[in-house]
Structure formats: structure tokens, C-alpha cells
């Protein structure tokens, strides 16, 4: 029995060390190691990452979500260039600037091409200044450089007698004059960003720029606010060219981020009339025919509008009573597209 085992062992050793066995085994082993390296270690085929930002008002939440997309594009090593297909009427000044800076950071690592869809106005246009190159459609609406000062104080003027404050401007952040100066400074900063980023490409004066006009895509190209006319596919080709990659995959960054973070990473949309918080109120929607009666019994709190600057307790005039969104920041890079209430 023991002899038999020894015999088997000897045969096995002979087979394992024989040329006929060892050579194919080495080839197979090589293929396996190669495949492991190919799939797990080596960088994959280069890719162009596409971030799609459908019509989105830029405020804290949407800026955070957009930032997650920019970070994903930055961190994924297979992504060598990025296309941002953007449509935005702008939004909060600080949030817009944050996205401009964030995009510019990304651009320092990987070429970024902005493709302007329906509207890239105000704060959206500021974000677009973060890219290396930009396209618009002939019918895109682009520009609107400037600032809207929506309100001063952030505390509602309810029961002012029980509020104690220090400093005459604690509640409002400053006098009317102070606010005018403040938004003027933001306006200058916006203009300087555009002038600096567009450089020689800009073919309009600062004064013209600060008219706050929206331009149709073709005119925006002529004025040097945008580099060319094109759609997302043109953006992808341009991005690949800037990155110097010939054959590439396309990574849908929205889908990748959604997979990673779930619904929390969905881009938010501007509420349309009829879908705002009031209409979403379950009591109201269940109230059928009588539902409109609640409109007649609005309490003073319901009617509250952010006060204009200064002058707490004086009669306030809200310049934008139908403003469709609550942005929660007093200064906006935003164009009010108006839904005609």
C-alpha cells in the first residue's frame, strides 16, 4: 500500500515537472495574473465623464449635490475629462461662487467643457466660468451678469417688541445704503470673474457686460461669453481632445453618483407654480372643492415676505412678490424668469 502511494507521488512529480505540463501551466498562470491585473489594478480605458445638470436653481442644497458630482468626476481615475451639461437661472451668490470655484478646481486636474442648455444665467453663468471651454445652443439664453438684492434682514418682523438687539443694524445687516454698496461689490466681483476668465476672448466692455442682458447662444458666442455653438456630443469630443485621449468610454456621472449616494444626490429642480409647499399640503389637496377657501384666511405669518433693507416696522414693498423660490440668502445671482401669475 505504502509502495503504491510512493509510486503515485513519484508519477505526479514527474508530470508536474515535465515540459508538457509546465509550459501550458505557466501560460495559463500568466493569463490569470494578467487578467487580475487588467481588471483590478491597471487603470481602465480612459473616459469622459458627463454631468447633467437640468434646470436647477443654485442654492445650498443643490450646490452640495452638484459638488458631489464634481467630486466624483475628480476622484474617478478613469475619468480624464469632464463635460457639464448645464441649465440654471442662477441662485444664491455664495452658492454660485462656490460652484464656480469648485469647477475651477476640477479644471486644474482635468479639462472641463461646459455645454449650456436652455438657460445659463447669472449664478449659473458664474459657475460656467469655471470651465476650460464652453458651448451653447443657438437658442440658449446666456449671461445676465449682475446681482439681485432680495432683502436685508433675515428675521421676520413679528412681535418686534420682544426682540432685543445690539447695534442699530443687527436685525437688518445694514442700512439701505449699506446694502446697495454691498450688492455693488458683489456685482463688481462677478464682472471681474467674467473679465478674468474670458480674457482676450471677451468682446464687450465691462459696462455692456453689467447691463445684465441675457443673450441668445449665437450672440453670446459673438460677444465672447461662450466659445462655440454645440451640443453635449460636441462637448464630449472637445473634452477628449483637450485631455488628449483618442478612444474613450463615457461615464454617466449622475448615474454613478446616484448609485453611490441614492436619492439624496438627486439634483433639485425649481418648484413650478402649483407644486409649491402650499399645494403639497395634504389637508388642502384632500379638501377638494373647498380647498381654495384657506387662501382667504391667511394669517399675517402666511403673508410674511422678507423685509427690504433697514426700516424694520416701516411699510415694506416687496419688489418680487411672485418670486417662485425661497433661497434663504439675501443676495442672488439669479434671473427671475417669471411664470406670469
Ligand X SMILES: *[C@@H]1O[C@H](CO)[C@@H](O)[C@H](O)[C@H]1NC(C)=O
Closest to ligand X by CB, 85 vs 112, is 112
Minimum distance from CB of 115 to ligand X (Å)? 16
Distance (Å, whole) CA 23 – CA 28: 9
Minimum distance from CB of 242 to ligand X (Å)? 4
Q: Which of residues 220-249 bind ligand X (CB under 6 A)?
A: 242
Closest to ligand X by CB, 102 vs 107, is 107
Q: Which of residues 100-119 bind ligand X (CB under 6 A)?
A: 107-108, 111
Closest to ligand X by CB, 141 vs 242, is 242
Distance (Å, whole) CA 160 – CA 145: 37
Minimum distance from CB of 256 to ligand X (Å)? 23
Site pattern 1..20 for ligand X (x: CB under 6 A): --------------------
Closest to ligand X by CB, 63 vs 112, is 112
Q: Do residues 111 and 240 touch, judged by C-beta distance below 8 A?
A: no
Q: Where are the beta strands (DSSP E) in 64-194?
A: 79-88, 90-92, 112-121, 133-136, 141-143, 148-149
Q: Do residues 124 and 159 touch, judged by C-beta distance below 8 A?
A: no
How many Å separate Cα 270 from the centre of its chain?
Answer: 13
Give the single-character DSSP code of 37: I
Distance (Å, whole) CA 287 – CA 295: 13
Q: Which of residues 321-340 bind ligand X (CB under 6 A)?
A: none
Closest to ligand X by CB, 98 vs 107, is 107
Of residues 150, 140, 147, 152, the one with CA closest to residue 126: 147
Minimum distance from CB of 45 to ligand X (Å)? 20
Minimum distance from CB of 109 to ligand X (Å)? 9
Distance (Å, whole) CA 206 – CA 212: 11
Closest to ligand X by CB, 226 vs 308, is 226
Minimum distance from CB of 116 to ligand X (Å)? 18
Strand 133-136, strand 141-143: pairing? unpaired
- Sole binder of ligand X in the list 62, 132, 193, 331 (CB under 6 A): 132
Question: Residue 309 interacts with ligand X (CB under 6 A)?
Answer: no
**Helix count and strand count (H, E) for the chain:** 12, 11
List of residues contacting ligand X (CB under 6 A): 107-108, 111, 132, 242
Amino acid at each position: 500500500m505504502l509502495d503504491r502511494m510512493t509510486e503515485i507521488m513519484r508519477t505526479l512529480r514527474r508530470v508536474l515537472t515535465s515540459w508538457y505540463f509546465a509550459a501550458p501551466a505557466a501560460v495559463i498562470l500568466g493569463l490569470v495574473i494578467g487578467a487580475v491585473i487588467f481588471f483590478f489594478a491597471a487603470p481602465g480605458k480612459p473616459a469622459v465623464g458627463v454631468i447633467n445638470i437640468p434646470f436647477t436653481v443654485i442654492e445650498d442644497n443643490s450646490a452640495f449635490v452638484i459638488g458631489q458630482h464634481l467630486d466624483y468626476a475628480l476622484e474617478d481615475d478613469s475619468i480624464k475629462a469632464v463635460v457639464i451639461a448645464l441649465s440654471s437661472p442662477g441662485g444664491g451668490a455664495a452658492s454660485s461662487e462656490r460652484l464656480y470655484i469648485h469647477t475651477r478646481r476640477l479644471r486644474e486636474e482635468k479639462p472641463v467643457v461646459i455645454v449650456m442648455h436652455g438657460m445659463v444665467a447669472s449664478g449659473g453663468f458664474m459657475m460656467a466660468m469655471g470651465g476650460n471651454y464652453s458651448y451653447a445652443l443657438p437658442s440658449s439664453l446666456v449671461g445676465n451678469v449682475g446681482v439681485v438684492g432680495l432683502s436685508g434682514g433675515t428675521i421676520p418682523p413679528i412681535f418686534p417688541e420682544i426682540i432685543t438687539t445690539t447695534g442699530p443694524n443687527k436685525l437688518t445687516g445694514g442700512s439701505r445704503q449699506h446694502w446697495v454698496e454691498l450688492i455693488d461689490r458683489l456685482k463688481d466681483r462677478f464682472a471681474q470673474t467674467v473679465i478674468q476668465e474670458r480674457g482676450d476672448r471677451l468682446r464687450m466692455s465691462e459696462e455692456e457686460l453689467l447691463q445684465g442682458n441675457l443673450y441668445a447662444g449665437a450672440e453670446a458666442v459673438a460677444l465672447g461669453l461662450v466659445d462655440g455653438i454645440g451640443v453635449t456630443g460636441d462637448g464630449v469630443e472637445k473634452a477628449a481632445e483637450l485631455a488628449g485621449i483618442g478612444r474613450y468610454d463615457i461615464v454617466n456621472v449622475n448615474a454613478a453618483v446616484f448609485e453611490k449616494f441614492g436619492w439624496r444626490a438627486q439634483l433639485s429642480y425649481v418648484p413650478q407654480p402649483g407644486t409649491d409647499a402650499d399645494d403639497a399640503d395634504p389637508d388642502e389637496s384632500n379638501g377638494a372643492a373647498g380647498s381654495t377657501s384657506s387662501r382667504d384666511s391667511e394669517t399675517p405669518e402666511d403673508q410674511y415676505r422678507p423685509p427690504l433693507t433697514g426700516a424694520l416696522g416701516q411699510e415694506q414693498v416687496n419688489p418680487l412678490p411672485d418670486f417662485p423660490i425661497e433661497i434663504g440668502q439675501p443676495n442672488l445671482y439669479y434671473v427671475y424668469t417669471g411664470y406670469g401669475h
